A and B are shown apart, each in its own frame.
Chain A
Amino acid sequence: MLLEQAVRVAEVILAFACVQQSLENIRGLQPEKALGFIQLVLAILLFAGVYPVYVEAGLLLVACLLLHRFQGPYNGGSDCMTLLVLLCLLLSHLAPSRAWQEIALGYLAFQLTFSYFQSGYIKIINRDWRTGQALTDVFAITAYPVSQSVRRWAQSPRLMLAMSWAVIGFELLFPLALLSQQSLLLALTIAVVFHLGNACLFGLNRFFWIWPAAYPVIIWFQQRLFVH
């Protein structure tokens, strides 16, 4: 995938994610309702590919205003990833040379890889994760399970142990997927299923849309590293 193609596909997915977020913001209280309307218009323009530099700068400004409004992210990691994708895509347009463009997008690819790896690393060094107790507590104690029936999954220790190691294994091994295009595509498919699972079990729907916005960039990055 060429750099320009990766940027454009990433922008389309990002635009969709921003539309989804903006519609939810419009349902909220003021001032996020007003900011949501602006975000919606800008996201539609981004989807259409109209003046991406100005539109991304506008979306970044709205994201910063929301960050200030809530004194931090409204939706945790998904807001961080939205800002990061926006910032790196904007910098790739503003970059004075091809090398700086590649650095901006390379940083996004690094953060995407690191988001999985670091998450896996902090789990494997935690005994409770290795024994399945931490995931049991996620289901039994935290406010994340979307229903009482999902909360009851905590009563299956073998399932919790298997799921814990599946998540740890996937997250830790993700960087190795960069070694070939086939392994990367496989890893990204697993990642989509992983985010879908998180959306269905824990209601983390915004993660499901925003993480894939960085996937075209990591596909380009892998080719840049190993093909050129």
Chain B
Amino acid sequence: MLKLLLPVIFPSWRFFSGIGPSPRIEFAFMQSENDSPEFWQEFRPRPLRVSWAEGVRRLLWNPRWNENLYINSCAERLFEEHSPMREQEIMRRILRALQSGEVSCAAEAKYLQFRISAVLREDGQVTQPLVFVSRPAAIGGIC
């Protein structure tokens, strides 16, 4: 706990010190655990625009976006080292989006998998290599 508390009591305010690889999360449905998914969908793609009214509302109430930021920080940790906890955190949130109807189920889908690619600039070129693929998770009675 002390390891978690010390950086808070003596924080480092290095906001945007360097622009590292930025995660993009996609998910896919599968009929069996050993399938290789072909159709990947971006999880929560950005809208084309956000209206002023929506912007004001988000000042007060922005849980989905803040959850996205948390998912991104989990994904960034997965860039550094594998962490079952971080993988599970992302999966739980995608499954909940499925359960709430935010994401539609594919027909006859029994499993779900997500993958993370990293958008980065290298030598002036923007690339997006794949860096992580999750283990498939059973959808259970969600779909």
Interface residues of A (CB under 8 A from B): 20, 23-24, 27-29, 64, 67-68, 70-77, 79-81, 83-84, 87, 111, 114-116, 118-119, 122-123, 126, 128, 134, 137-138, 140-143, 145-151, 196, 199-200, 203, 205-206, 208
Give A208 to B58 CA distance when docked, in angstroms: 11
Q: Is B126 located at the chain interface by the 8 A CB criterion?
A: yes
Closest to B58 in A: A205
Q: Chain A nearest CB: distance from B73 CB in Å?
A: 7
Q: Chain A nearest CB: distance from B10 CB in Å?
A: 9
Q: Tell me which of B22, B46, B92, B126 contacts A147 (CB under 8 A).
A: B46
Q: Is the CB of B8 within 8 A of A73?
A: yes
Q: Is the CB of A141 within 8 A of B120?
A: yes
Residues in A with CB closer than 8 Å to B19 are: 128, 134, 137-138, 141-142
Number of B residues near A (Cβ < 8 Å) is 47
Q: Chain B nearest CB: distance from A209 CB in Å?
A: 8
Residues in B with CB closer than 8 Å to A208 are: 59
Q: Is the CB of B13 within 8 A of A114?
A: yes
Q: Is the CB of A147 within 8 A of B16?
A: no
Q: Tell me which of A70, A123, A149, A199 contacts B17 (CB under 8 A).
A: A123
Closest to B73 in A: A76
Residues in B with CB closer than 8 Å to A116 are: 13
Residues in B with CB closer than 8 Å to A80 are: 7-8, 11
Q: Is B61 located at the chain interface by the 8 A CB criterion?
A: yes
**Helix, strand, loop or mixed for chain A's interface?**
helix
Q: Chain B nearest CB: distance from A33 CB in Å?
A: 11
Give A6 to B8 CA distance when docked, in angstroms: 22
Q: Is the CB of B13 within 8 A of A29?
A: no
Give A78 to B76 CA distance when docked, in angstroms: 18
Contacts known (A79-B8, A128-B19, A147-B48); A28 close to B59, Cβ less than 8 A: no
Q: Is the CB of A118 within 8 A of B62?
A: no
Closest to B10 in A: A111
Q: Is the CB of A84 within 8 A of B126?
A: no
Q: Is the CB of A87 within 8 A of B66?
A: no
Residues in A with CB closer than 8 Å to B60 are: 20, 205
